[in-house]
Amino acid sequence: MKSVIWVFGESATGKSTLINAILNNENNIRAYLGLDNEKIDVIRETISSNLSAFDDENNEKSRKEVIMKKIEDFLQSNSNILLIKGQSNDMNDIYGNTLKEFAFKYPNLTKEIYLLEIDDLDLHYDRFTNKDWFQTDKERYEKMFTKEWLPGAVAKHREIVYSFLQYGFTIVNIDSTNGFVMKGDKSFNGESSNFRR
CB contact burial 108-133 (16+ within 10 A = b; e otherwise): ebbbbbbbbbbeeeeebbebbbeeee
Domain boundaries, the chain: 3-182
- Residue 25 DSSP class: T
Greatest CA separation for the chain: 48
Under CATH, what is the fold of the domain 3-182?
Rossmann fold (3.40.50)
pTM of the model: 0.90
The pLDDT of residue 11 is: 93
The pLDDT of residue 170 is: 96
The pLDDT of residue 50 is: 60
Three-state DSSP class for 120? coil
- Identify the segments of the chain with pLDDT beneath 50: 185-197
Are 30 and 107 spatial neighbours (Cβ–Cβ below 8 Å)? no
The pLDDT of residue 185 is: 45
Edge-first strand listing for the sheet containing 169-175: 40-42, 81-85, 3-8, 110-117, 169-175, 181-182
**CA distance from start to end of the chain:** 8
CA 131 to chain centre: 17
d(CA 63, CA 143): 29
The pLDDT of residue 169 is: 97
